[in-house]
Structure 1
Amino acid sequence: MRVATSTLYQQGLASMNLQQSSLLHIQQQLGTGRKVLTPSDDPVAATRALGVTQANAINDQYTTSRNQANISLGMEENTLSTVTTVTQNIQTLLVQAGNGTMSDVDRASLATALKGQYEQLLGLANADDGNGQYLFGGTLSGSAPFVQGGGSVQYIGNTEQQQYQVDVARQMPAGSNGREVFQSVQGSAGYVLKGNSTNTGSATYGQVSTTDPTNPLYGTPLTLTFDDSSGSMQYTITDPSGNPVGGTPVAYSDPAQISAAGITFTVKGTPKSGDTISMQPASQAGTDMFANLKSVIDALDAPVHSGADSANLDNVIATGIRQFSNSLDNVLTVRSSVGSRMQELDALDTIGTNRGLNYSETLSGLQDLDYASAITQYYQRQTALQGAQQSFMQIQGMNLFKYL
């Protein structure tokens, strides 16, 4: 069989190129530490590695979202901690205001102190994150959620919450809106008593307690009205429609323990005919911390000239104490919710970290190079290339022209 010289050259060159290409491929593997450099190296491993890489990138994004949510919740927790302290300070001042030996000057001094707490509370309600984003504005976080005007504070934020996708199937609210914190009470708050500012008698009430929450009328707003048209002082309790609760009027004696709709409270003093006391569920008795505090401040600023003035002041203070007790419970409940979300984020971080480790381990198994095997193959390919080169040189020497 005759073999052309050109064929010998072509085959020799092809053999050397093949060996050199194989050697270069292994060199690239050693340089990158990856055994799959192109999808053609291992199509199945390349496809799986792409899916795992994408899943790992999504997991990293969840980690970033959790960090952002944790920062937001941490700032809210710090603010709510101060709100708790301010609310407790207000309660302390209200208890002091209930001291019957205080003069108008003393009460005015307490009113001034409460005004300071009012301004501090308003500042906390408009707290931001340092980047101009307000904590309690809901999704309208670009402007202050509480505005003061006309002697009152209005909430202009919304009741929606900013959501963070913190895991595959978990969206977490990263904050609380202002209405939820400063203008709400818990459903278990019970009743609040309120006196009528037009009362002319000296009747005062104590704190209300719940005795039977299963009572059919529990949760219904009621009104207690005093009347002496029969010749002796009596009182009647009516529902919102004006229907008497409990039948006929009841004779009043000082002090009187009054029970209705599953609640009990004590009334002392001397009421006048037409005086009223309202009994309202906490959610209907004024839940705005700013409005409730302003009512107490206004009452303390007003001079006391008569027994009726003193009784009305005592009733306003008693109502304020009850309202701020409910507000404190609400703030503590919101703080508890924030704390539970932060705890959940910690648990999700642990899960996310373990998931990331699993992804990394899977990617390592699919992509990482076995250096011992690769180095062995490198020397094998190097030897094969040298053999191809030497054999080509020997075949090239098989030429009759050199004998001429």
Structure 2
Amino acid sequence: MRVSTASTYESSINTLQRRQQELSLAQGQLTSGKKIGKPSDDPTGAARAERALIEQTRGETTLRVIDASRNAMTLSEGALGDAVDLVQTAREALMAAGNGSYTAGERKAVALQLSELRNQLLNVANQQDGNGGYLFGGQGVQTAPFLDAVGGVDYASTGGQINGATDERLPLSVDGQQIWLQARSGNGVFTTAADAANSGSGWVNAGQVTDPAAYTGKSYEVSFSAGAGGALEYSITDSDGASIASNQPYSAGKAITDVPGVAFTISGTPSATGTPPDRFTVAPSQPELSVFDALDRALAVLNDPNANPGQVMQGVNAGLRDMDQALSSFSSARAMVGETLNRLDGVGDRTDARILSSKTTRSNAEDLDMVEAISDFSNKQTSYQAALQSYAQVQKLSLFNYIGN
């Protein structure tokens, strides 16, 4: 077969250009450290690298949310710790106010201390998270969530919490309404109270559950009357009007166990001659206890110079009972926040592992093996040089060059 000079030239040039392109590609890969410069270099590898990059970006976003959540939960844990300390101090002040030898002036001094503690608690409840939000802002509010209104402290936000936009539930706030305003009233199971119209010196303690299975959850009323010789007697009826106990002899400080499953103690001397006679109630506990309202009730009694000993003791004991429930609410919330911090550590570790896996997958798909690449570049450089020398020799095969020689 005859091979023309033009065909030989064209073949040599094509080979030279191909070798030059291969050398240029290898040089570019060495410079960038990547074996995929554009998707067409390796469509399958490019797709794998793209998916890995997306997964890596999601993981890095999750880490930022984890950092924000950890900051909010750390601050919340500290704030709840401050609240526990303040409530414990308020409880100690209330215990001191229960001293029967205290004068009205001394009780007023205790009330001033409690008022200051209340203000500090309100500041803690409205603590910010450093990013313009509020730790106990629930589902979000632009201003302080707890407002000190005329009738007490109101919640200006919506209960619940804000979660970061990730697959994991990473809280960025805490449900302040539940923690500060919705503790269980009474002793957590039932609530004892003295009627506001009572005129005697009797007061009732928080009581306790003696048999959970026997407690019916009904409301009960204890009323007093004068028996034979003027001796005090009490009667108990339930919320259905049924008589539980009738004309039982009253003994101050002795536990009353007539109500099924519970026991409570009435101390002092209730009045049986008032209109109406003194009454006390037992009702199921409700999630409605506000630590601020509890302090306000105690302050009202301690600031009243006309309060009789029974009213003072009732106010003090009710305050102590409510402080215990507030402490329980804060401690439970603090434990929950602590558990969230532990969970954040676990989520962070898993996310770090996910990011590392994505980086590895991406690297395997697009990163260059430098040893192999240098060897390949050297081979392509040798091929290119050979092509150049071959072309130089082919140029000399012209008929005119032959005639000229």
TM-score (norm 1): 0.92
> Which residue identity does 1:84 align to in structure 2?
V
1:357 positional shift: 1.6
In 1, the alpha carbon distance for the partners of 2:256 and 2:155 equals: 37
Secondary structure at the aligned position of 2:246 is classed as coil
Residues 186 and 247 (structure 1 numbering): CA distance in 2 closer, same or farther, change over 3 Å?
A: closer
Counterparts of 1:282 and 1:71, CA distance in 2? 35
1:338-367, Cα deviation, whole Å (9 max, x unpaired):
110110000111111112222222222222
| Structure 2 equivalent of residue 318 of structure 1 | 317
Specify every segment of 5 or more residues in structure 2 that has no aligned partner in the other structure, as ranges.
none
Counterparts of 1:100 and 1:59 in 2: how far apart (Å)? 63
Give 3-state SS (helix, strand or coil) of 2:40's partner: coil
- Secondary structure at the residue paired with 1:163? coil
Aligned to 1:163: 163
Deviations 1:349-403 (A, max 9, x none): 1111112222222222222211111111111111111111111111101122133
Task: Verify the 8 A CA contact 1:49 1:367 in the aligned structure 2.
Answer: yes
Structure 2 counterparts to residues 360-371 of structure 1, below 5 A: 360-371=359-370
Match of 1:261? 260
1:176 and 2:174 aligned? yes
For 2:15 and 2:162, the matched residues in 1 are separated by: 66
Give yes or no for the alignment of 1:278 onto 2:286.
Answer: no
Identity %: 28
Q: Aligned-pair distance for 1:186? A: 4.8
8 Å contact from structure 1 (residues 224, 235) kept in 2: yes
Q: Which amino acid aligns with 2:327?
A: L
Aligned to 1:123: 123
The answer to whether the 8 A contact 2:163-2:172 is kept is yes
Displacement of 1:265 after TM fit? 1.8
Q: By how many angstroms is 1:10 displaced?
A: 1.9
- Give, as a single letter, the amino acid of the residue that structure 1 aligns with 2:297: S
8 Å contact kept, 1:304–1:310: no
TM-score when normalising by structure 2: 0.92
Q: Distance in 1 between matches of 2:130 and 2:389?
A: 74
Alpha-carbon displacement from aligned partner over 1:157-182 (angstroms, at most 9, x marks no partner): 1113101144x3x2233322221111
Per-residue deviation, 1:243? 2.9
Corresponding position: 1:292 with 2:294:
yes
- Root mean square deviation of aligned Cα: 2.0
Instruction: Tell me how far 1:201 sits from its aligned partner.
Output: 1.3
Task: Tell me how far apart the structure 2 counterparts of residues 263 and 287 of structure 1 sit (CA, whole Å).
Answer: 21
- Gap regions ≥5 residues in structure 1: none
Note if contact 2:234-2:246 (Cα within 8 Å) is conserved in structure 1.
no
Pair 1:372 & 2:371 matched: yes
- 3-state SS of 2:255 partner: strand
Counterpart code for 2:211: D
Secondary structure of the 2:169 match is strand
Does 1:249 pair with 2:247? yes
Q: Distance in 1 between matches of 2:126 and 2:369?
A: 59
How far apart are 1:39 and its partner, in Å?
Answer: 2.6
Describe the SS at the equivalent of 2:39: coil
Query: What is the rounded CA distance, in whole Å, between the counterparts of 1:378 and 1:132 in structure 2?
Result: 57
Report what 1:346 is aligned to.
Answer: 345
> Does the 8 Å CA contact 2:147/2:154 hold for their aligned counterparts?
yes
Structure 1 Cα separation of the partners of residues 241 and 28 of structure 2:
91
Q: 1:225 aligns with which of 211, 218, 223?
A: 223
1:203 counterpart = 2:206? no
Distance 1:225 1:36 in 2: 89
Following superposition, the deviation at residue 237 of structure 1 comes to 2.0
Matches within 5 A, 1:58-137: 58-137=58-137
CA distance in 1, matches of 2:41, 2:131: 50
- SS of equivalent residue, structure 1 residue 225: strand
Q: In 2, distance between residues paired with 1:334 and 1:303?
A: 37
List per-residue Cα deviations over 1:119-175 (Å, max 9, x = no partner).
Answer: 111111111123431222212321111112224221121113101144x3x223332
Cross-structure match for 2:387: 388
Residue range with higher mean Cα deviation, 102-111 or 366-375: 366-375
Aligned to 1:303: 305
Q: Cα gap change, 1:201/1:89 in structure 2, threshold over 3 Å: closer, same or farther? A: same
Deviation at residue 256 of structure 1 after TM alignment? 2.7
Amino acid in structure 1 at the alignment position of 2:183: V
SS at match of 2:265: strand
Q: How many residues align?
A: 396
Residue deviations 1:283-336 (CA, integer Å, cap 9, x gap): 26x50111110111111111146xxx1101101110110011011001100111
Question: Quick one: distance in 1 between partners of 2:149 and 2:53?
Answer: 55
